[in-house]
Amino acid sequence: MLISIVVGSSRHNSQSAKVAQYLSTLVRVKQSIHSVKELLPKLWDNEAFHSLKDQDIAQSEVFSEELNKADAFIFVIPEWHGMVPPAMKNLFVAFGKEFSHKPALLVSVSSGLGGAYPIAELRMSSYKNSRICYIPDHAIVRQVEQVLNTPESENENDTRIRDRLGYSVKVLEEYAKAFQSIRQSGVIDLAAYPTGM
Ligand SMILES: Cc1cc2nc3c(=O)[nH]c(=O)nc-3n(C[C@H](O)[C@H](O)[C@H](O)COP(=O)(O)O)c2cc1C
């Protein structure tokens, strides 16, 4: 079983990458970590897409295979202007079947007391054609600069979010096991129903 962690921030040394590193210590099965910048450096542009160089197309096929191998995802999403960063939404334009009928844990990140909007945004959209299945539990890492900085917890808030993340990852791992049988059931027919309604 493989869990793929996707960092939704395209900033260098982002706090979301820090949170993703911490999450990687909690995952007890095989895992991979990718950032949206690495998966898809360019924003979707229909004209540019038709003139992409062979090496760009080959690269995106490599990442398509990578994402295909995953049984579940953890998306670590910063709140930018009350929204999901465009590079993250871009992922659902460029990829789709790779996420199909796989559970995902949403972890949002805020330097202040925000972080609810990216959760609401991804729960409301992004699943229609990709058929990604967000599990009911999610986590919001608020005042992110003050937590997850050291191997041991530094304060009460740090402990609380570490416990919450640990619990959420365990729940995701159980969903990941259970969802394998849905994908293997033979019921899923993306050829007949490539998009949701
Ligand atoms: C363009 C931009 C917009 C932001 N808007 C918000 C916001 O609306 N709400 C919020 O809580 N934090 C906001 N932040 C702060 C982020 O929460 C902060 O940068 C945090 O470290 C997570 O982003 P990162 O993973 O890119 O570091 C914003 C940051 C950037 C770069």
pLDDT per residue as tens digits for the range 14-36: 999 999 999 999 999 999 999 99
Phi, psi of 100 (to 5 degrees): -60, 125
Closest CA to ligand 1's atom 31: 80
CATH of domain 2-184: 3.40.50.360
Pairing outcome for strands 30-35 and 2-7:
parallel
Average pLDDT of the residues in 90-107: 94
CA dihedral 24, 25, 26, 32 (to 10 degrees): 30
For the chain, the structural domain boundaries read 2-184
Q: What is the mean pLDDT of the chain?
A: 93
Q: Which of 111, 121, 146 to mutate to test the pocket of ligand 1 (most atoms within 8 A of CB)?
A: 111
| Number of C-beta neighbours around residue 124 at 10 A | 9
Question: pTM value?
Answer: 0.94
Distance CA 131, CA 121 (A): 15
